[in-house]
């Protein structure tokens, strides 16, 4: 059945409108119904905005009340905690390419070892932020819009920049 749910999601449901379009709550329920049957683990009351891409979902875990943002791109083993808020155009990748050899083109060197991404509870990912492989973002963090997160950050961090750095603590 999973292939059927994937087909319906990617061919129809991901294109359904979101808030403030009339009937958006129904469209959210349709996407949630399908995604619960696609991804590895799905929490309660999640929201999937339009055009969210997560491959076949086999390695995606989503906690309760988490929002998968509009145009989000999620690839590889990703664990999202509870109550995550995502702005549009978020990229979270647990995979990358090998590039160690200079005698072989990068596109022929194959994939690097997958490095899971873990995002804690109560995290806000700002518009167009990018989370790179192997990153762990602690609970209650804020990631500024446009940040490229290449390393892990502890609970209550506010981070931003390219590459992202600690701006201040929320406490």
Catalytic residues: 97
Q: Quick one: CA torsion of 107, 134, 145, 53, rounded to 10 degrees? A: 60
The CA–CA distances, whole Å, from 16 to 46, 48, 64, 79, 165 equal 16, 11, 22, 25, 36
Inter-residue contact 138 to 151 (CB < 8 Å): no
Inter-residue contact 90 to 145 (CB < 8 Å): no
CA distance 137 to 142: 9
* H or E element at residue 32: helix 24-36
CA distance 6 to 57: 9
């Amino acid at each position: 059945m999973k292939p059927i749910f994937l087909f319906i999601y990617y061919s129809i449901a991901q294109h359904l409108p979101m808030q403030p379009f009339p009937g958006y709550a129904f469209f959210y329920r349709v996407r949630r119904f399908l995604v619960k049957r696609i991804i590895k683990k799905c929490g309660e009351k999640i929201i999937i905005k339009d055009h969210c891409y997560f491959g076949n979902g086999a390695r995606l875990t989503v906690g309760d009340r988490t929002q998968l943002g509009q145009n989000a791109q999620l690839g590889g083993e990703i664990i999202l905690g509870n109550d995550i808020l995502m702005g549009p155009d978020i990229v979270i990748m647990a995979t990358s390419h090998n590039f160690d050899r200079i005698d072989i083109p990068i596109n022929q060197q194959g994939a690097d070892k997958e490095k899971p991404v873990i995002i804690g509870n109560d995290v806000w990912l700002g518009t167009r932020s990018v989370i790179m492989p192997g990153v762990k973002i602690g609970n209650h963090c804020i990631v500024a819009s446009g940040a490229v997160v290449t390393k892990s950050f502890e609970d209550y961090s506010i981070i931003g920049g390219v590459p992202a750095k600690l701006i201040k603590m929320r406490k």
